[in-house]
Each structure stands twice: as C-alpha cells, then as structure tokens.
Structure 1
Amino acid sequence: MLVSLSIRNIVLIEKLDLTFDGGAPGAHAEQNDRGLGDRGLGDRGLGDRGLGVLTGETGAGKSILLDSLGFALGNRADARLLRSGAEQASVTATFDIAARHPAWSILKEQDLEVEDAVLILRRVLAKDGRSRAYVNDQPAAAGLLRRLADSLIEIQGQFDQRGLMDSATHRGLLDAYGRLQPKAQAVAQAWRGWRDAVAAREDAARRMAEAQRDEAFLRHAVEELTALEPQPGEEARLTAQRNRLMHREKLIEGINAARQAIDDEEAGATVGLARAQRALARIAETGGEALAPAIATLERALLECEEAAAQLNAFAGDMELEADSLEAVEERFFALQDMARKHHCACDDLIALREDLAARLAAIDGGEAELTALAEQAAAARRHYLAAGEALSEARQKAAKRLDKAVARELPPLKLERARFATAITRLEEDDWSAQGLDRIAFEVATNPGSTPGPIGKIASGGELARFLLAVKVVLASINPERSLVFDEVDSGVGGATAHAVGERLARLAGDRQVLVVTHSPQVAARGSRHWQVQKQPAGRQLATRVQHLADRERREEIARMLSGAEITDEARAAADRLIGAA
C-alpha cells in the first residue's frame, strides 16, 4: 500500500510531503516555510484500507499530484514537469508490501534488497528532460519502476494505457475472476511439452539433413579411419620407435662397447668382479664377519652386471630384428599424421572422430524411424495441449458470461443503463497459440443500443469510460487486493443519484484495499474515510499547490462548498451533514 508521497519542484509544488501511514494529526507532516506541506493526516492514513478522497477547485493542482505519482511509477519523463527556476525535480513514493506481495518476486529477480517490507520508488528529473530511477536508493531502469508499479498500484482514468485500458491484461483478469488458474497452468505446461517435442523433432531433422548432405564424405571418412585403425597412444609409440631406428648404428655401437666392457674375457667388469669375489672367498674365514658386507656387495654387483649384460644382449637382438622396419614405422607414422591433418585434429583424437562419424551415419540409417517416433510424440503433445486449451476456452466462455452479467448489474445505477459490456473471446489461428491458450480476450463496450461493441478505451469516452472501469473494478474486487487503486474524476459529468451510486461503489471497493479518488462530487467525497483538499495559493511571485488533510469540521465545510459554490450557506452545511451521515 502507498504510505507516503514526497514531491520536490514539480510544476506548482516546491515541496510537498504526504504521509499516509495512519499516524496522529501532524505526526508525519513536514511544513515548509511557504505553508506547502501536509498539515496532518487524521487518525487513519491512506496506507490503511479505505476510501481516500482529494477535492479542490478546478486548476488547484489535483492533476499535478497524479502526474507526480505517475512519474514516480515510471511514466514517461517530461521536462515540463520541472518547476520554473529549479535545477531538478524528484518524486518519491513509498509502499508497504505484504509478505506474499507479487513485488517480491520482481525484486528477487533483479537482486534488489528491501528491508522491513518498505519499498521506495524514487525518480529524479533534470532540466534536459532526462531522468534517473531508484529502487530503495539502488539505481534502476524506469522499466523496472513500471513493472513494480503494476503490482503495487493502478491508476484509472488518468493513464489510459495502463490497468484495465491495456487489453493485454484482460485474459489474466478473466482467468482470475473465473478461478481458472489451475486450468491455465495446465495449458502452459502442455504448451511447454508441445514446444519441447517440436524442438526435439526439428533438431533431429536438422541433424539428419546435415548427415544426408555429407553422407558420401562420412562413408568415405569412416572407411578410411576403419582401414587405418588408429590405436590409443600409437603416435607416441611410433615416435619413440622411429627415433630409435633412425639412430640404430649409433645405438648398436654404444651397446657393443658396453657389452665388451662388461663381458670381455680379459678386462670385462664381470671377469674383474669374479676375480675379486674369489680372492675374498679365500680369506673369508680369516677375516670373519668384517668381510661379509663386502663379499655380499660383490655378489650383488656381479648379479647386476650379468643382468645388464642380458638386457643389452636382448636390446641388440631387437635391433637386429628391426634392421629393415624403419620404412614400415615411418609409413605408419606419416599415415597417422596425414589423417590427423586431413580432419584437423590430433592423432589421438582419430578414434573418437571415427566413432562420431559412424554415429552420424547410423543416424542416417535409423533416422527415418527416429523422426517418425519424434513426430508422433509431437503430435501427441499437440493433442494434449489442444485438449487442455479447449477445456480452458470452454471455462473462459462460462466465466465471461458470469462477468458480463455481473458488470451489467452495476451499469444502470451508474447512469449507463443503455450501455452494454461484453467479454469478447476470439479463437486464435494456430500460429498465434501460446502458453496462455487458444483465445484472444478483450473487454468491449457498446454505449448505445444496437451498436457493435468495441474496445473499451475507444468506444467509451469521458465520464462513461471512468464509470465503466469502476463497474468492472467493483466486479473484479476480489482480484489483487494487495494493489492500491486510484480513480481520476470517475464521477465526471454525473450528479444526484448517479454520483451517490459512484460513491457507494467506491466505498465498497475500498472495503479490502486502499482506494484514492480525485472527485468533484460531494456525494463521492462524503463517502471518504479520509479527505484531502487541494488548493492553489500565492507563494511570492508564483502560485503554489497546497494539500491539506481535513478534520471533520473542515471536511463538512469543503463538502458544503462543493454543494453551493463560492458562498457556503447554512442550507449547504445542512446538506453536507446529511450526505456525511448517510455515508
């Protein structure tokens, strides 16, 4: 709910702070040196549920207040809003949001923090017409302000493209009125299932088309890779083998030198170690345990030399066997290299490449069956969506009839007895079906008998439009009780019993929500639980708008003024008392 509105340098308002949180008189007022502030808000504020009325003579500045509020809610910035001589203007609207208010999901989506359930929307306007927006003092886009504002407050009659005037909202309003959300959710779920099934089939068809286009290449490539049959780690093994064979003579020369140094019958290491072992063996008994470590070490060294000699002999034997294999190794090595270059990959990736290409070929061979299965799944998903959509459409038709009858009952007391309200439900072409269902829904009106209903914003005009919107709002009162409502001159052009009916419906609408109405009707003003008077007064060389909360006696005088004009008579006061008492 709206709890306060602070305005700085907007047209005729230099400084104005309206606090609507239900404090005692004067508890939240900010009186500036020119007397432009709010004098006090009574024992209940507009932040509470109930009907708050703003009255004042034509041109006093009531529209400026609504323009200011609209600016804070993200409406288009206009440099003409800036007060003459000011460098910048600002408007701050503060809301108290309940625990499950829809605004929370928007704030969470934008990673914006809100403390103590207080949401502050602030907009600053510069001389060049540019504006900056803030949500709880965190920079934000004006579009975010509009999204938040749509969940917080609705202004009817002043901003024609928002609220009920936006036909895009009518489908959701009808579903909410008919309590069709479960059916609507089922349709949305079925729509996603159908779209996913169609996407899967289209993706498979695309992959198959690509494979068919490249089929000849794929078959040739798979045949080549199958014939080559690359092995894991083969490139590294071939590189080592090739390097060994390319240096074969040098390796053999080194091996032979090592073998001779170990096995030479006269000066080899093995012969020397054997001699040393025999020499120690002859004195082992005499030397005792002191020679035991040396003897053991010589035994190990002799064994190691014999093992080294065996390994060298084996290596030399392998080299002899590989004498003619360099050509074969290089042929295999370069074949792998050439194949890797051809496919722009590493040699070790050739195995995976073959598997991928083979899978694409398999998709061609089994693709028709897969496409058939996916097409059947998509068709089944379409039938499921269509069945859910038809059920929702039927329920919408029934809800629309109930809505039309309920609105029709509200029209005669509002002096719209010759008018007709109709919920138009049009079946969409399949290309226009969506997660919202099969229907286009629009609220239409006809103001004269026999005339064809048309869009509510184009057929109705002036006071008719405001009263149509009021009638619909009264019927839809149970929807979105968290959202505050503002009506701008909903009683335009009516009086007497019709104005009384307007006031009665506004009061009824305010039973479970915050409602604010700008009015020229004393019958409507008498229904208000809180009353503000807007006045235009001299302030130096300029005029300034002043807003005053009216206590009971002042409220009586204002309603009497509205009844009698400039001169307030005792008869007008008595009539005001009767209106207030009847309310």
Structure 2
Amino acid sequence: MLLSLSIENFAVVKSVHVDFKQGLSVVTGETGAGKSIAIDGLSLCLGARADANAVRKNADKASVIAEFDIQTLPKVKQWLSDLELIQEEAPNECTIRRVISAEGRSKAFINGKTVTLSQLKVLGQWLVSIHGQHAHHQLLKADAQLQLLDQFANHPELLTSVKSSFEQYRQTKQQFDQLTATQQQRQDRCQLLSYQVEELDIFGLQQGEFEQLEIEFKRLSNSQTLLEEAQMSFYRLYENDEHNALSLVQKCVNELEQLETHDATLAPIVGILKDSAINIEEAANELRSYCDELDIDPMRMQQVEQRYQQAMDFARKHNVMPEDLYEIHQALAAEYAELQASSGSLDELAAQVQLELDTYLAQTALLSQSRQSAGETLAQHIIESVAQMNMEHTQLKFAVNYDTSQPLQANGLDTIQILVTTNPGQPMDVIENVVSGGELSRIGLAIQVITSHLNQVPTLIFDEVDTGISGPTAAIVGSLLRKLGNSTQVMCVTHLPQVAAQGHQQLFVNKLTDGETTETTMRELNDEQRVRELARLLAGDTLTDSAIANAQEMLQKVS
C-alpha cells in the first residue's frame, strides 16, 4: 500500500507531504484548487511522461517521492531482489523517487538506485491502479469490453492455449502458402529434371569413367602409329642384326673389360654399361609384348569414339567440364528426388494446416464458452450493484458473438457487446446508445468494485469517479467505495459530501495566491475540520448551522 507521498516544486505545488492510511482516503477542495495534484504527482513517480512544464516556476527541479509497504507483495519483492534493488535493512518497504530538471531532463530511482523509465513503469503497474475521470468511457470500446470479460473469467490458461494454437497455425499456413505460390515453378523444374535425369541415367556414365574413356580413345585413335613406332623401336634396340642398341652396348662392355686390366678406374663404367645392356634387353622384351598385345579393333574404336563424343556432348549441354558430368548427374538426380518428395510434403502440409486450424477452432470455442459463462455472472453482479445506485430497472447483458468467418485472432473469434436497457419496456441496445454519463459512471464504478479482487494491486485511485451523480445515489457510491476500502487501499477525488463522508481519511486541497505566485497545499483534516469541509460541500462557502448539523450527522452515520 501507499504509505506517503512527498512533492516538491511540482506544477503549482511548492512542498507537500501526505501520509496515507489503509481504507478509503477522500480528497476534497474547491473547484480549480488542484485536487488531482497528488494523482498527477504519483503518476509521474510511477513512470508517466514528464517535461519542463512540470517544474514550478523559478525552481531548478521538481521531485516526487512515494513510499510503499510491499510486505504482502511477494512478486514485487522478488522483482526488486532480482534487480538488486531491494533494501536489505527494510525489505518490506520500497521508495520511488522521480526528479525532473527545469530543462526537462528526468531521473528515476528505486530505493536510492538509478533505474530506467521502463523499469519504473513495470513496478508501478504492480503498486497502483489509477482510474481517471473518464476511465469509464473505456467501457464503450470493444477491446476494453473483451479485456474486462477475460479478467473476470480469470482463464489465463485458455487465453494462452488459443494464442499458442493461433501462432502454430499461422506459421504452418505461411509455409503452406509459400510452397503453394512456387508450386508451378517446382512443377516446371521437376519436368525438366525428369527429362535430364532420365537421359543421363540411360547414358549411365560412372564415376571416373570419362578419364579412362579419354585414355582409351587416345590410344585407339593412334593405335596404328603406336604399333609402327613401337615395332621400329624394338627393331633398333634388339632385332637389327648389324647395328641394334643391345649388341653395340655389349660390344663396348667386351672392349672395356679388356682395358680394365690396364686401368682399374674403368670398372665403374663397365658396370654401368652392363646395367644398360640389361635395361635395353628388358625394354625390348616389353616392347615385344606391347606390340603383341596392342589391339587394333575398329569396332571397339567406334564404340569408344561414340561414347566419348556423347560424354562431350552432354558436358556442353550442361555447361560443365566432362570430368564433372558424373557429379552433375548425381546432383540433378538428388534435386529431382527432393522435388518429387516436396509434392508429397505439400499434401502433408495441407493436412497439417487443417489439423492446426481445427485445434485452434476447438480452443477458441472453449474460450468463447468461458466468456459467455463469465459474462452471465458478471452481468448479474453489475445489475445488482447498480440497482443500489438508483438504477433498479437496469438490465445488462454481455453479448458474446462467436464468429468463425472473421479473420483469425490470437485472442479468439469473439466479438463483445454490452447491451443495456435502463427503463422498463425499452429494448436492449449497445451501451453507448443507451446510458447517460452518470449512468455510465455508476456502471463503471460497479465493475471496479466487483473486479477489485482480481486486480491484485494494493492501491486503487479514482479521480472524480462520482461525476454525474448526486443525492441518495451519491451516498450509495460512497458506501461502495468505503466497502472497497475495507479490503483495498482506495483514494478518491470527489466533490460530493455523501462520498467524502464515507472516507476513513479526508485530505483537503487548497490553493493560495498573493497575486504574483500561486501555491497548492494538501493536508489531512481532523474531525472538526472534516465537519466544516463537509458543510462547505453541502452549502457552499457560507456555512450555516443546518449545514454543519447535516455534516455532523453524515459522519456519525458512517462511524
């Protein structure tokens, strides 16, 4: 709960410090005195936008400090602890400070440590809920009506399930649409690949085959020349009776061996020549075998030449080197297989899209049923509550329209309308066409009271929530706010004595001016001061004995 609020040099406030109590705190004052100044300052402290106009004239800076008791707020304590912002010496208290310079620069602090504005807003939403003068007008908006119903139904699991199934369906549908959009391109490509792969399959070139084919083609195309040259070389090395290479080398060996007896240094040369003779003889034998085995087969030549030429043609067709033709064949075959599989994938994806759509529709139907049930219960509570506020003929209904033909949404397929009639015999119509401002204000207040236990925020602030009501209705509104204050800290800015009398604490706002400067102050009233302030609200600036007596009676009835 809010313990205290200190404001320095903010707008028309020079210095204000207020201690707040549990229960209902009412804020009163003359029109234009600045009764909402505490709310504005607290809003600033909790992350509202600030500018240089917020700083009091001739002041260097404005500051707002709010102190809270967080003993019963474990979520807040955990958040502070995670960010190392908790006060070890006072873990059940939290102090927020906001400073705005005259130039418009802003700084924020939690328990003395600098924080960002976004962190301030996160913390603020767990500490205070502020309902402005026109907050009840949100009831006229469809999204606010839906949010209200979901809050009252308290079905976060259903909302999460619908959102999750929606996201899953959306992603799968997107994949399906993308695949469908490129289906014709894939079909054209698949048809081309079918022809190319079939052609290469028939040709059936194996890995490394072209390299061997090229070698054989060169050999066969030059086989006659190879045979003739090999035979001539064999003749020169071995078969020429007069001058073959082998006989010449052997003759040299014989002559040098005779000379070796005269000069031993010839021995290595003789050894080399002997080795040469052996190598020449082996080479001659290999050439003989080569010539015997060299096959000049015109049929084989034709086959090799034809396959070699086909390989070259396919390589040119696919714009690759012939050595890479086998790899290209494998790549095209793999792509063709993948495209064929994708055709099946499209069917599977279509089935998956339908399955996920069915899941989403089933979840949204459950959510709609929960909303309808919650709507019936909430409507009955509102009817009972506003009946106490001089709207006893009011009938109200949450019309939940579940429409599967509308675009899918992450929060379901429901459209919500609040239908109302306030007079007997009049048909129900949408709320904006039926209720007056005061009636709308009373319905809004009833909803705030009914749903306060769901808010889980320890401090509720209402800025002139009683606008448009008076008399006995005002007394009932005050009673409702006091009842709410028994379980939650409530602050209410009001101009109605019937509401002000219900406060556990009354704060008075006053504006002082010396003709040159203006200053707004706020102070807590004691019992005597409360009587006089209530009398002023009843009778105006001229206090009469009867007004004072009425004020005393009002306070006595409450106590």
* 8 Å Cα contact 2:145-2:418 kept in structure 1: yes
CA shift, 1:505, in A, is: 0.7
Residue 407 of structure 1, aligned match among 382, 388, 408: 382
* 8 Å Cα contact 1:55-1:525 kept in structure 2: yes
For 1:29-48, what aligned pairs fall within 5 Å after superposition? 41=19, 45-46=20-21, 48=22
Aligned residues between the structures: 451
Letter in 2 for 1:409: E
**Is 1:178 the equivalent of 2:153?**
yes
CA shift, 1:225, in A, is: 11
Equivalent residue number for residue 441 of structure 1: 416
CA shift, 1:545, in A, is: 1.0
Counterpart-to-counterpart distance in 2, 1:461 and 1:103: 43
Counterpart-to-counterpart distance in 1, 2:52 and 2:452: 37
Equivalent residue number for residue 108 of structure 2: 134
Counterpart-to-counterpart distance in 1, 2:444 and 2:422: 13
Residue 469 of structure 1, aligned match among 425, 440, 444: 444
Letter in 2 for 1:140: T
Q: What is the identity percentage for the equivalent residue pairs of Structure 1 and Structure 2? A: 32
Q: 1:214 to 1:138 in 2, by over 3 A?
A: farther
Counterpart-to-counterpart distance in 2, 1:165 and 1:56: 30
Equivalent residue number for residue 247 of structure 2: none
Structure with greater Cα Rg: 2
* 8 Å Cα contact 2:6-2:64 kept in structure 1: yes
Equivalent residue number for residue 251 of structure 1: none
Residue 34 of structure 2, aligned match among 58, 61, 74: 61
Residue 526 of structure 2, aligned match among 536, 541, 551: 551
Equivalent residue number for residue 11 of structure 2: 11
Counterpart-to-counterpart distance in 1, 2:476 and 2:352: 57
SS, match of residue 452 in structure 2: coil
Letter in 1 for 2:465: V
Give the TM-score, by structure 1 length: 0.64
Equivalent residue number for residue 85 of structure 1: 58
Residues 457-488 of structure 1 deviation map (CA, whole Å, 9 limit, x = unaligned): x8655443332211111222321132522112
For 1:282-293, what aligned pairs fall within 5 Å after superposition? none
Q: 1:157 to 1:218 in 2, by over 3 A?
A: same
**Is 1:154 the equivalent of 2:98?**
no
* 8 Å Cα contact 2:406-2:413 kept in structure 1: no
Letter in 2 for 1:51: L
For 1:460-499, what aligned pairs fall within 5 Å after superposition? 462-499=437-474
CA shift, 1:389, in A, is: 1.3
In structure 1, runs of 5+ residues without a counterpart are 19-40, 232-263, 269-316, 322-330
Q: 1:163 to 1:138 in 2, by over 3 A?
A: farther
* 8 Å Cα contact 2:27-2:494 kept in structure 1: yes
Counterpart-to-counterpart distance in 1, 2:403 and 2:194: 47
Structure 1 range deviating more: 557-566 or 492-501:
557-566
Counterpart-to-counterpart distance in 2, 1:489 and 1:188: 37
Equivalent residue number for residue 114 of structure 1: 85
**Is 1:51 the equivalent of 2:27?**
no
* 8 Å Cα contact 1:156-1:469 kept in structure 2: no
Q: 1:573 to 1:549 in 2, by over 3 A?
A: same
**Is 1:581 the equivalent of 2:552?**
no
* 8 Å Cα contact 1:421-1:443 kept in structure 2: yes
* 8 Å Cα contact 1:427-1:440 kept in structure 2: yes
Q: 1:416 to 1:165 in 2, by over 3 A?
A: same
Letter in 2 for 1:53: V
CA shift, 1:54, in A, is: 0.9
Give the TM-score, by structure 2 length: 0.66
CA shift, 1:58, in A, is: 1.7
* 8 Å Cα contact 1:466-1:489 kept in structure 2: no
Equivalent residue number for residue 348 of structure 2: 373
**Is 1:70 the equivalent of 2:43?**
yes
CA shift, 1:140, in A, is: 2.9
Counterpart-to-counterpart distance in 1, 2:7 and 2:329: 72
CA shift, 1:61, in A, is: 1.4
Residues 87-123 of structure 1 deviation map (CA, whole Å, 9 limit, x = unaligned): 4434444545554548977x89xx8553146666555
Equivalent residue number for residue 245 of structure 1: none
* 8 Å Cα contact 1:157-1:466 kept in structure 2: no
Counterpart-to-counterpart distance in 1, 2:136 and 2:185: 48
Letter in 1 for 2:57: S
SS, match of residue 440 in structure 2: helix
CA shift, 1:438, in A, is: 1.1
Letter in 2 for 1:547: M
Structure 1 range deviating more: 385-394 or 441-450:
441-450
SS, match of residue 477 in structure 1: helix
Equivalent residue number for residue 425 of structure 1: 400
CA shift, 1:133, in A, is: 5.9
Counterpart-to-counterpart distance in 2, 1:267 and 1:192: 92
Counterpart-to-counterpart distance in 1, 2:106 and 2:420: 39
For 1:256-335, what aligned pairs fall within 5 Å after superposition? none
Equivalent residue number for residue 2 of structure 2: 2
* 8 Å Cα contact 2:133-2:465 kept in structure 1: no
Counterpart-to-counterpart distance in 2, 1:132 and 1:432: 43
Equivalent residue number for residue 213 of structure 2: none
